[in-house]
Structure 1
Amino acid sequence: MIPIPPARRRRRMKVQAGRWQRRLLFLIGGIAVGAAAVLIALLADKAQHIFALLIGQWRYASLALTPAGFVLAVFLTNRYFPNSQGSGIPQAIAARRLTGHAARKRLLSMRVAVGKILLMLLGLLCGASAGREGPTVQVGASIMFTAGGLSARRQSGLVLAGAAAGVAAAFNTPLAGIVFGIEEMSRSFESRSSRLIIGAVIAAGLTTLALVGNYTYFGRTPMMLENGIDWLAVPICGVIGGVAGGLFSRFVIAMARGIPGVIGGALKKRPLLLAGLCGLGVALCGIASGDIVYGTGYEQVKTALENGTPLPDSFGLLKLLATALTAVSGIPGGIFAPSLAVGAGIGSDIAQFFHGTPVGPIIILGMVSYFAGVVQAPITAFVIVTEMTDNHAMVVPVMAASVIAYACSRAVCPEGIYHALARGFLREETSART
C-alpha cells in the first residue's frame, strides 16, 4: 500500500472539513428557520385574534384602523426597512440572481427580516388580507444568507435552502418546500444544492414538529369526487381559477410597474396616499363580507373543509379584492394563504352547480387552481395543497386542475408574479450601481 504524503493528507482533511462545515451550516440554519417560522405563526395568529376582538366591539372601527395601519406600515417600511415590502419571495429570487454581497444584503439581512416580521404583524393587526408564508421565505433566506457570511460561493445555495425551508416550516409541508425551491426559486435541479436543500428542509421540519407537534394545515379531508359528473369540476375549476389567478397577477404586476398617466404618477409620488386608499378598500371589503375576509383566511377555509360546509357566495370575490389591494399597498405581507382562501371561495361557488356532491373536494380543486394561476408553479401548487389537506384520494384531480389552471393563467399573464416582481428589484439594483 502506497503511503499518502502528509501534504496531500492535510489537503484532503481540509476539503473534508470544509464539506462538513458546509453541511452543518445548512442544518443549523434550517433549525433556525424552523424556529423563526413557528414564532411568526404564533405571533400572526395573536395579531389576527386582537384585530377580531377590536372589530367585535365595533365592526366599523376598521374604516379608521385599517387605512391608518396601512399608512403607518408603508411609512416604516420606506423609512427604516426598505426592501421588506410585499411578499418577500421576489426579494429572495432577485438575491439569488445578484452576485455582489452588498447588493444581496440590501434584500436579505437580519434588519430586513426583523422589519418584515414586525410590519407584517402590524398589517395583520389592522386587518390586512395577507399571509405569513411569503414573509417567512424572506426571513428564512435572510437567516441562511447571514449565516453564510461573506462566502460568495455559498450564498446562492444558502438563499435557496432558506427559502425552501421557510415554505416547509410555515405550512408543515416538507415536500412542498423542496419542490418550491427547485421549481420556483431555482427553476433547475442541481444535485449538490438539492441535497443540501433537503437537509435544511428536514432540519426546519423537525424543529417545527418539536415545537408545535405534527399537524395538517387545513386539517384532514378524506372526501373525494364520487362519480363521473363530479369530474367536470376539474376543468371548470382549472379554467376559472387559472384565469382569475392570472388576472390577479397581471393587476399586481401592472401596479408594481406603475400606472401610466396623471393618476399613476400622482400615486407613485404619494405612496402613503395609495396605502391609505388600499386600506380603506380592504376595510370596505371586510364590512361587506361580514368581517370574514380580513387576515389569512385560514380559519374560514379550515372550517369549511372539516365540516363540509360552503363558504358565503361573496367570499371568493371579496377576498380576491382585499388581497389585491393589500398586495399593491406596499405593506409587508404574503399572498400564499390568501390565495388559497380565494380559491376555496371560488370552489365553494362552483360546488353549488354540482348537487349532491360533497363541497370539500371541489373547494380543494378551487384552491389548487387559483393558487397555481397566481404563482404559475403547478407542481408546487398540487404538492402543497395535497400535503395541507392530507387528501391523497384527490391527487389525480388536483394534479389535473393545477396543470389546466397553469395553462389558462399563462394565456392571461405570460410571466409569473414572483419572477416579474423580482425583475423590479434587479432593475433597482442595476440603477443604484449606475
Structure 2
Amino acid sequence: MKGEPDFLENLRTEMGDVRQWLDRVVVIAYAVLAGLAIVCFTLLADAAFGFYQSLRSAAWWAPLLWTPLLTAGVVWTIRRWAPGTAGSGVPQLLTALAPETPVQARSRFISLKLSMAKILAVSGGLLAGLSIGRQGPSVQVAAGVMLHARRWLSPRSGISDRELMVAGGAAGIAAAFNTPLGGIVFAIEELSRRLQERSSGLMLAAIVVAGLVAVSAFGNLSYFGRVRAEAVSWWSLLAPGAVVALACGLLGGLLSRLMLASFTGLPDRFCAYRRKRPVTFAALCGFAVAVIAVVSDGAAVGVGHQHTHTLLDQAAAGATAENHQPLVFTGLKFIASWLSAWTGIPGGIFGPSLSIGAGVGADVAWLLNSPYGAALIALGMCGFLAAVTQTPITAMIIVMEMTDGHSMVLSLMACALLASLVSRMISRPLYSTMSSLMMRSMQRPQPPAPADGPTESATR
C-alpha cells in the first residue's frame, strides 16, 4: 500500500547516519553523568548530615553554635558567588523552560556550574543541621548536567534545550527516589504538561540510564526504604484516611503559603529586617532550628527519613499507641522546615514533606486508635506531598512506588486529590507561583545591595 514505511530503506537511513548515532551516544553519556551526579549528591549529603549527627551526639549544645554560624556562612557564600543555587530547584527549572525566558538568561537558572554549586550548598545546609531535602535540588542538578550536552550535539540532532532540561529534571526525580514512574509523571504534570513523541523518548532514555546508575550504587531501594503497608480494604481506611487527607491538606497548604511568603516577603518589620540583613537573619533562623534539634533530640532536622522509619517500625510492632507522642514531631518538623526555607539556604521540600506527612499519619492512627498505622503513615506521606506541591498524581505515584502499595492505589489517589484540593483553597501552587515571580523579577532593576551581603537574586 502506498505510504507504508519501507523497512529496508529506513534501516539503511538509520544505520548510515553516523552523526545521528554520535548524538545519541552523547545523550546517553550525559544521562550516565546525571545519574552519577545524583549518586555523588546523595553520598555527600548523607555524609554531611552524618557528621552533624556525630557532632550533636558528642555535645548536645553544639548545634546552638554550629548551626547558626554555618548557616550564615553558607548563605553569605551562595549570595556572593552562586545566587542561582538558592531555592529548591524546581522553580528554577520551570523558569528556564518558560517560553518567555530569553535563551541567554537560562544560565541564571540551569547550568552545569550551578549544578555543582547546588550539590555543595545543599550539603552545606545538611551539614548545618537544617530541615531540608535533596530531591527537589536533584531536579536542577540533573537538568544542568543534561543541558550541558548541547555543546556536543550537532545542529541536525533535532534535540532542543527544552527536551534536554525536561529529561534531566525527570531523571533527577527518578534517581533521587528510585521511582521511574514518578519521574515520568512529574515531567508531565509539573515540568512539561505536554510531551511530543521525540521528547518522551529522550526523557525515558534519561530516566532509565540515570536510574540504572543510581540502582547500581545503592541497590533497588528508595531513599526512604521499602515501606510495606499492610493490605487493607478501601472502606476500612475511609474515615481515618479522610482525617489524614484533611489534616495534610490544611497543614500542607499552610506550609506552601508560608514558603511563598518567605520567597516574596511581606510588608512588615520582620521581613524588612530580613531584606536589610539577610545573613544575620539566616543565623537567627539557624539558631531557632538548632533549638528545635536540641528539643527533638535531632529527629526534627535533616530530611527526617530516620524518624519515618521509626514510626513505621512502631506501627509494624503495634507499639504506636504506647510510645507515640502525638503532634510533637509533626509540629517541630513543620516549624523547622519553614525556618530552614526562610534562611535562604538551597534545599528541597520533597523529603521533609514526606516526613511531616508520616508524622500526621502516625498522629491520626494514635488519636483514633487505628490498627492500620503503616497504611495511614503511607497516606500521610502521599497527602502532605500532594498538598505542598499540588501535584497529586506525582505524589501518589512516588509513594505507591516507594511503598509497593499497589493494593492501596485507590486510597492513595483519593488522599492525594482531597489533600491537594484543600491546599488549593489556602495557597497558590508553590512551584509555578515561584517561577512566575522569578520571571517577573527578571524584568525589574535590582535594588541596592543590603548591608551584610549582595542583593538577593531573583533566582531565590
- TM-score when scaled to structure 2? 0.87
> Residue 25 of structure 1 contacts residue 148 of structure 1 at CA under 8 Å; is this kept in 2?
no
How far did residue 306 of structure 1 move? 4.2
Other-structure match for 2:263: 256
Q: Displacement, 1:125? A: 0.8
Q: CA contact under 8 A between 1:68 and 1:276: conserved in structure 2?
A: yes
Query: Unmatched 5+ residue regions in structure 1?
Result: 1-8
In 2: Cα distance, 1:107 partner to 1:279 partner:
26
Residue 175 of structure 2 is aligned with which of 169, 174, 179?
A: 169
Cα distance per residue 1:223-277 (max 9 Å; x no partner): 1335845321222111110111111111111121111134322211211122112
Contact 1:226–1:357 (CA under 8 A) maintained in structure 2: no
Residue of structure 2 equivalent to 1:32: 33
Q: 2:371 corresponds to which residue?
A: 357
Moved more, 205-214 or 67-76: 205-214
2:287 pairs with 280, 287, 295, which one? 280
The structure 2 residue matched to 1:157, chosen from 160, 163, 167, is 163
What count of residue pairs does the alignment treat as equivalent? Answer: 424
Q: In structure 2, what is the equivalent of residue 6 of structure 1?
A: none
2:241 aligned with 1:234? yes
Matched, 1:202 2:208: yes
* Kept in 2: contact 1:130–1:326 (CA 8 A): yes
Give the aligned partner of residue 186 of structure 2: 180
- Name the amino acid aligned to 1:337: G
1:289-308 pair list within 5 angstroms: 289-308=296-315
Cross-structure match for 2:346: 332
Of residues 145, 148, 153, the one that matches 1:146 is: 148
Contact 2:229–2:378, Cα closer than 8 Å, also in 1: no
Moved more, 248-257 or 419-428: 419-428
Q: 1:315 aligns with which of 329, 338, 361?
A: 329
Kept after mapping to 2: 8 A contact 1:221/1:390: yes
Secondary structure in structure 1 of the residue aligned to 2:231 = coil
State the match for 1:135 in structure 2.
137
- TM-score normalized by structure 1? 0.92
CA RMSD of aligned residues (A): 2.4
Pick which of 302-311 and 185-194 moved more. Answer: 302-311
Change (3 A) 1:75 1:224: same
**Partners of 1:315 and 1:156 in 2: how far apart?**
41
Residue equivalent to 2:272: 265
Q: Pick closer, same or farther for the CA change 1:15–1:416 going to 2, 3 Å.
A: farther
1:393 to 403, 407, 417: 407
Q: 1:416 to 1:24 in 2, by over 3 A?
A: farther
For the Cα contact (< 8 Å) 1:347–1:364, is it kept in 2? yes
Deviations 1:123-176 (A, max 9, x none): 111101011111111110110111113979611111111010000001111110
**What whole-Å deviation, never above 9, does each CA across 1:79-98 have from its counterpart, x for those lacking one?**
01111012111111111115
Deviates more, 1:211-220 or 1:82-91: 211-220
Separation in structure 1 between the aligned mates of residue 269 and residue 217 of structure 2, nearest angstrom: 52
Query: Following the alignment from structure 2 to structure 1, what is the Cα–Cα distance between the partners of residues 313 and 297?
Result: 21
Aligned-residue sequence identity (percent) comes to 36
Deviation, structure 1 residue 22: 4.5
1:19 CA drift (Å)? 4.8
TM-aligned CA distance change 1:325 to 1:356, over 3 Å? closer
Deviates most, 376-385 or 257-266: 257-266
CA drift of 1:278 comes to: 1.3
Decide whether the 8 Å contact of 1:225 with 1:231 is kept in 2. no
Q: How far off is 1:399 after superposition?
A: 0.8
Partner of 1:246: 253
- Tell me how far apart the structure 1 counterparts of residues 369 and 28 of structure 2 sit (CA, whole Å): 50
Q: Secondary structure at the match of 2:96?
A: helix
CA 1:302–1:22: 2 relative to 1, 3 Å:
farther
SS in structure 2 at match of 1:412: coil
C-alpha distance in structure 2 between counterparts of 1:393 and 1:33, whole Å: 33
C-alpha distance in structure 2 between counterparts of 1:224 and 1:107, whole Å: 43
Distance in structure 2 (CA, Å) of the matches to 1:265 and 1:78: 18
- 31 and 352 in structure 1: CA distance in 2 versus 1, 3 angstrom threshold: same
Residues 93-132 of structure 1: matches in 2 within 5 Å? 93-97=94-98, 98-132=100-134
Q: Which residue of 2 aligns with 1:5?
A: none
The aligned residue for residue 214 of structure 1 is 220
- Give the match's secondary structure for 1:431: coil
Q: Name the counterpart of 2:451.
A: none
1:371-386 equivalence runs, <5 A: 371-386=385-400
**8 Å CA contact 1:218, 1:305 repeated in 2:** no
CA 1:23–1:179 in 2, change beyond 3 Å: closer, same or farther? farther
Aligned residue type for 2:310: T
Relative to structure 1, the CA distance from residue 221 to residue 307 in structure 2 (aligned partners, 3 Å threshold; closer, same or farther) is farther
Indicate the residue corresponding to 1:410 in structure 2. Answer: 424
- Name the residue aligned to 1:81: 82
Give me the whole-angstrom Cα distance separating, in 2, the residues matched to 1:264 and 1:356: 43
What is aligned with 1:426? 439
Unpaired runs of at least 5, structure 2: 1-9, 447-460
SS of residue paired to 2:367 = coil
